[in-house]
Amino acid sequence: MKNKRLKEARIQANMSQTELSEYLGYKGKQSVANWENGYSTPTLKVAICLAEVLGKNVHYLFGYKVQDSHTKNEELKSNERKEMI
């Protein structure tokens, strides 16, 4: 499901996906694009940074859909693949 709130907050902050990504230390805009399009969610640490930069509440931006860590997301994907076999 697309994250319209994140996209709207970024636009209100007058930032492009690239600018926001670079501010967070990413090389390109792909992470921000993935979060906005609902393909992935940021870690809690990154979600907190996003909320601060965009002047919004983490819960407003992501609800309860943030990862504890990048590793946890990879474990979930691995388990989903195993279940498909």
pLDDT for res 53: 95
Question: Which DSSP state fits 25?
Answer: T
pTM for the whole thing?
0.74
> What's the angle, vertex CA 26, arms to CA 24 and CA 27, rounded to 5?
140
Retrieve residue 43's tokens: 């870690």
What are the mean pLDDT values of the chain's consecutive 10-residue runs (85 residues total)? 94 96 93 94 91 94 71 48 47
50 in Cβ contact with 59 (< 8 Å)? no
Neighbours of 4 (CB within 10 A): 10
Helix (H, G, I), strand (E, B) or coil at 38: coil
Give the pLDDT confidence of 39-53 residue by residue, as tens digits: 998 988 999 999 999
Domains of the chain with CATH codes: 4-84 (1.10.260.40)
Q: Output the pLDDT for position 68.
A: 55
